[in-house]
């Protein structure tokens, strides 16, 4: 029972822990989802803004191309004016130039600065091959990964070049500061800003920016710290709430169990009371019949002897008279004994409980039986496992019980060799256990279940009240009594121990 | 002779003592087995049995004895005076059924009745033994004698000579030990009522 309860409370504790973990996981999942939503909306917002910026580049190129194309002679001033304006307004556009291709050589004129166009000659081999005027091409630079170039073919042999600082595209607070991001052009990573803090979890999303001329791909990622997933402000109150609920549940269950236990006890007690009553009513009937039968014997003897005595007087037979009177005395005593036992059984004796050491109670009880046992040649083997044990008993009743058990044992041993009765006093810290075992033939198996029933007897002269009386006396001392076969017959008497004097 | 069986030693001794003051010879036994083993079965007597005996009850003992051909008059004594046990005892053939404690006079009356019964029983047994000596023809003759027929009538009835009938009657007188026709008739009728 104790073991079971212990296992039960471990289970309850585990269930509580599991619930707490489940709740924490739920909170974490919720926060994670919210974080992902933030990430997604940041990404789509960033994508939109990035798309707008890229569209600006296209618009500028278109405008520049229109100016460049105007007239035979390149209108240097107009181009420069426009280019300067664009470059000063959009710092991320770091270079605006035209490229004239003649055969294998190319001449590049740069317009984004206020002074004269910087003219640089270079081979035309490095330029993207384009045939349709108005079309664009985009290229990353191998030596300078943060920048990329947009070429627009204005007319055959005439290119417009715009160089973009990708850093400028993403610099101005496009994302929350703790986000990491990467910007790709094809296979080239233009920008890489990794997550700064080390985190518990990371999530990454990417997006192809909506632009025909500049097919950029944006990838952003964010991390989740433990405190983000399980914010103490939420988790701690939740867990304490859970603990409180758990505690209440356990307390409630305990209360319910206690109440149920109480109810069961009450029901049991009531049942016992009913049973005891029924038992008494039944026992009364049995007793009346038992009294009639038991007393019939000595009374029958008394009557016959008395009548014989009267006749002996008439016959002047003094010997018969004396014999009859002796027998009368004996039988009257026997009848008295029967009535005494009867009275003791009915009343159970006036119970005067007193608290005395077990050892003393047992020694006193045995002293009464010892002479008889010695006369019968029965060896008594007594082991009292000591320790100051106090029992609350009715001394006379207790002595009667021990005497009765010993007498039964002695009678069972009659006519055997090596007669032995062993008495052992032992027990736990809650109760004393007395074990009285003989080495006789034991109790017949058929009789064993009935030996505590009134008027059940296996002895020809027995009345069947000895053991029932013993059991009742012990019950009155809040103890119990049982019989088993262990070699011979064994009687076990259990008495509760008193803790205080 | 009284055979007393009771498992209670005190009751046994007390009854034996009382009966002895009436000059009765009493043999006591604690149970059925002792009675069967140690009673002198050649001396018919009165059985006084306790109904409730260990192992074999008084009624069962009666059944066992009658199976052995012993049907002596029996008094059943019991501590429980229940009607059912009483009915069964009488059906088993007890002469009387007494409850403990048994009064002297009731007991002595019952014993006296049993002794009368026993005497009759013994006389009957004796007569039966005498009549058993007769041959078939002699039995036919004495039956006709008991009906009041004379020798001539008997001779006619049996189609034998009168002399033969007289010879049979002489044998009958010798075997039954009496020449008196009245006595012979009484013996015959007591056995063939």
**Among residues A38, A44, A36, A27, which one has the least CA distance to residue A201?**
A36
Is the distance from CB of A211 to CB of A51 less than 8 angstroms?
yes
- State whether B14 and A320 contact (CB < 8 Å): no
Contact between chains at B22 and A461 (C-beta distance less than 8 A): no
Confidence of residue A304 (pLDDT cuts 50, 70, 90): very high
Q: Which of A26-40, A192-206, A245-259, B109-123 has the lowest mean pLDDT?
A: A192-206
Instruction: Give the separation between CA A147 and CA A165, rounded to whole angstroms.
Output: 5
Closest Cα to residue A476, out of A398, A405, A375?
Answer: A398
User: Which residue from A144, A127, A147 is spatially nearest to A136, judged by alpha carbons?
Assistant: A127
Write out chain B residues lying below 8 Å of A301, CB-based: 8, 10-11, 13-14, 101
Interface test with B, best of A288, A296, A320 (most B CBs within 10 A): A296
Yes or no: say if A325 and A356 are a contact pair by the CB < 8 Å rule: no
Contact A312 B21 (CB under 8 A): yes
What's the mean pLDDT in A32-54?
89
Q: Are B48 and B77 in contact (CB under 8 A)?
A: yes
Sorting pLDDT into bands at 50, 70 and 90, what band is A283? low
B24 to chain A, any CB pair closer than 8 A? The answer is no
CB contact under 8 A, A297 and B11: yes
φ, ψ of residue A339 to 5 degrees: the values are -65, -40
As a whole number of angstroms, the distance between CA A276 and CA A270 comes to 10
Q: Which of A387, A400, A385, A382 minimizes the C-alpha distance to A357?
A: A387
Q: Which residues pair with A95 in a beta bridge?
A: A163
Q: In the prediction, which pLDDT does A501 show?
A: 47
- CA A156 – CA B171 distance, rounded (Å): 184
- Enter the tokens of residue A224: 């989740």
Lowest mean pLDDT: which of A284-293, A326-335, B13-22?
Answer: A284-293
Strands of the sheet with B46-50, listed across from one edge: B26-29, B2-5, B46-50, B74-78, B96-99
CB of B7 within 8 Å of a chain A CB? The answer is yes
Q: Starting at the edge strand that comes first in sequence, how are the strands of the sheet with A180-185 ordered? A: A188-193, A180-185, A216-224, A201-208
Query: What is the C-alpha to C-alpha distance for residues A125 and A105, in angstroms, rounded to an integer?
Result: 8
Q: Does residue A350 carry a pLDDT above 60?
A: no
Sole residue written with tokens 């822990």: A17
Q: Phi first, then psi: what are they for A420, rounded to 5°?
A: -150, 135
Q: DSSP code of A112?
A: S
Q: How confident is the model over A327-333, as a mean pLDDT?
A: 89
**Nearest CA to CA, how far is A309 from chain B (Å)?**
8
Q: Tell me if B28 sits within 8 A of B51, measured CB to CB.
A: no
Question: How far is Cα B60 from Cα B52, in angstroms, rounded to an integer?
Answer: 10
**% helix, strand, coil for chain A, step of 5:** 50, 25, 25
Report DSSP letters for A8-64, one per residue: HHHHHHHHHHHHHHHHHHHHHHHHHHHHHHHHHHHHHHHHHHHHHHHHHHHHHHHHH
- Mean pLDDT, rounded, for A48-52: 89
Q: What pLDDT shows up at residue A491?
A: 92
* pLDDT given for residue A365 in this prediction: 79
Q: What is the pLDDT of residues A307-316, one digit of tens each?
A: 999 999 999 9
pLDDT band (50, 70, 90) for residue A169: confident
Q: How many CA atoms lie within 13 A of A422 on its CB side?
A: 10
pLDDT, average across residues A449-470: 73
Judge: B79–A296 Cβ closer than 8 Å, yes or no: yes
What does the alpha-carbon distance between residue A88 and residue A77 come to, in Å, rounded to a whole number? 16
Contact A308 B14 (CB under 8 A): yes
Q: What is the pLDDT of residue A279?
A: 56
Q: What is the DSSP letter of B68?
A: T
pLDDT (mean) for A434-454? 84
What span, in angstroms and rounded, lies between the C-alpha atoms of A54 and A136? Answer: 13
Is the Cβ pair A304, B80 closer than 8 Å? no
Q: pLDDT tens for residues A136-158?
A: 888 887 777 788 889 998 888 88
- The residue of chain B nearest to residue A299, with distances taken between CA atoms, is B101
- The pLDDT assigned to B14 comes to 92
- Is residue A467 over pLDDT 90? no
Lowest mean pLDDT among A85-89, A110-114, A262-266: A110-114
Residue A431 pairs in a beta bridge with A496
Residue B101: is the preceding peptide bond cis (ω within 30°)? Answer: yes
At A386 the pLDDT is: 66
pLDDT at residue number A325 = 92
Mean pLDDT is lowest, of A91-95, A289-293, A295-299, B26-30, for: A289-293
Q: How much is the ipTM here? A: 0.73
Parts of chain B with a pLDDT under 50 = none
Residue A155 · residue A69 · CB < 8 Å = yes
Output the pTM of the full model: 0.42
Whether pLDDT at A466 is above 60: yes
Chain A residues whose C-beta sits inside 8 Å of any chain B C-beta: 289, 292-293, 296-305, 307-308, 311-312, 315, 317, 320, 323-324, 327, 330-331, 334, 460-461
Checking if the pLDDT of A73 tops 80, the result is no
Ramachandran bin of A487, using left for φ above 0, alpha for ψ from -120 to 50, beta for the remaining angles: left
DSSP secondary structure code for residue A175 in this structure: S
pLDDT at A462: 63
CB contacts of B23 in chain A (<8 Å) are none
- The candidate with the shortest Cα–Cα distance to B85, out of B70, B100, B72, B64, is B100
């Amino acid at each position: 029972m104790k073991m079971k309860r212990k296992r039960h409370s471990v289970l309850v504790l585990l269930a509580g822990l599991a619930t707490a973990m489940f709740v924490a996981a739920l909170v974490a999942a919720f926060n994670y989802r919210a974080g992902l939503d933030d990430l997604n909306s940041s990404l789509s917002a960033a994508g939109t803004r990035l798309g707008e910026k890229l569209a600006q580049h296209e618009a500028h190129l278109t405008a520049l191309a229109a100016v460049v194309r105007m007239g035979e002679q390149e209108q240097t001033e107009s181009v420069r004016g426009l280019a300067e304006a664009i470059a000063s307004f959009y710092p991320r556009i770091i270079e605006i130039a035209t490229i004239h291709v003649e055969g294998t050589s190319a001449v590049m004129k740069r317009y984004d600065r206020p002074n004269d166009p910087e003219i640089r000659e270079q081979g035309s081999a490095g330029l993207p091959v384009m045939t349709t005027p108005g079309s664009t091409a985009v290229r990353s630079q191998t030596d300078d990964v943060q920048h990329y170039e947009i070429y627009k073919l204005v007319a055959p042999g005439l290119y417009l070049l715009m160089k973009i600082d990708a850093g400028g595209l993403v610099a101005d607070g496009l994302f929350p500061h703790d986000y990491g991001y990467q910007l790709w052009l094809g296979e080239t990573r233009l920008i890489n800003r990794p997550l700064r803090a080390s985190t518990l979890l990371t999530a990454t999303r990417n997006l192809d920016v909506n632009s025909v001329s500049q097919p950029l791909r944006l990838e952003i990622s964010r991390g989740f710290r433990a405190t983000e997933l399980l914010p103490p402000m939420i988790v701690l109150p939740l867990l304490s709430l859970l603990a409180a609920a758990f505690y209440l549940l356990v307390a409630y269950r305990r209360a319910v169990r206690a109440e149920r236990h109480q109810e069961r006890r009450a029901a049991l007690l009531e049942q016992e009371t009913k049973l005891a009553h029924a038992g008494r009513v039944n026992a009364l009937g049995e007793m009346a019949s038992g009294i009639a039968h038991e007393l019939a014997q000595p009374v029958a003897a008394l009557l016959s002897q008395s009548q014989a005595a009267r006749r002996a007087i008439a016959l002047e037979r003094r010997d018969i008279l004396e014999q009859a009177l002796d027998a009368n005395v004996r039988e009257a005593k026997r009848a008295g004994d029967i009535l005494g036992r009867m009275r003791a059984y009915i009343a159970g004796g006036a119970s005067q409980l007193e608290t005395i050491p077990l050892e003393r109670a047992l020694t006193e009880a045995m002293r009464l039986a010892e002479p008889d046992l010695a006369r019968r040649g029965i060896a008594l083997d007594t082991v009292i496992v000591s320790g100051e044990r106090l029992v609350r008993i009715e001394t006379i009743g207790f002595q009667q019980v021990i005497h009765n058990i010993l007498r039964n044992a002695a009678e069972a041993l009659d006519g055997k060799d090596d007669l032995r009765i062993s008495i052992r006093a032992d027990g736990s810290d809650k109760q004393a256990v007395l074990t009285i075992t003989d080495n006789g033939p034991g109790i017949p198996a058929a009789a064993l279940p009935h030996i505590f029933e009134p008027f059940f007897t296996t002895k020809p002269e027995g009345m069947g009240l000895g053991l029932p009386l013993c059991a009742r006396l012990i019950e009155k001392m809040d103890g119990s009594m049982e019989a088993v076969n262990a070699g011979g017959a064994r009687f076990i008497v259990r008495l509760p121990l008193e803790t205080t004097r | 002779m009284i055979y007393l069986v009771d498992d209670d030693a005190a009751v046994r001794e007390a009854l034996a003592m009382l009966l002895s003051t009436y000059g009765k010879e009493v043999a006591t036994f604690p149970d059925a087995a002792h009675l069967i083993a140690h009673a002198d079965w050649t001396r018919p007597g009165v059985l006084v049995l306790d109904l409730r005996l260990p192992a074999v009850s008084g009624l069962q003992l009666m059944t066992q004895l009658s199976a052995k051909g012993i049907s002596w008059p029996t008094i059943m004594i019991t501590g429980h005076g229940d009607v059912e046990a009483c009915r069964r005892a009488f059906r088993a053939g007890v002469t009387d059924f007494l409850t403990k404690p048994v009064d002297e006079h009731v007991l002595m009356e019952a014993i006296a009745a049993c002794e009368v019964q026993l005497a009759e029983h013994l006389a009957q047994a004796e007569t039966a033994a005498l009549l058993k000596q007769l041959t078939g023809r002699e039995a036919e003759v004495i039956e006709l004698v008991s009906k009041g027929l004379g020798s001539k009538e008997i001779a006619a009835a049996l189609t034998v000579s009168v002399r033969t009938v007289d010879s049979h009657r002489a044998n009958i007188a010798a075997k039954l030990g009496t020449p008196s026709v009245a006595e012979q008739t009484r013996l015959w009728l007591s056995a063939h009522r």
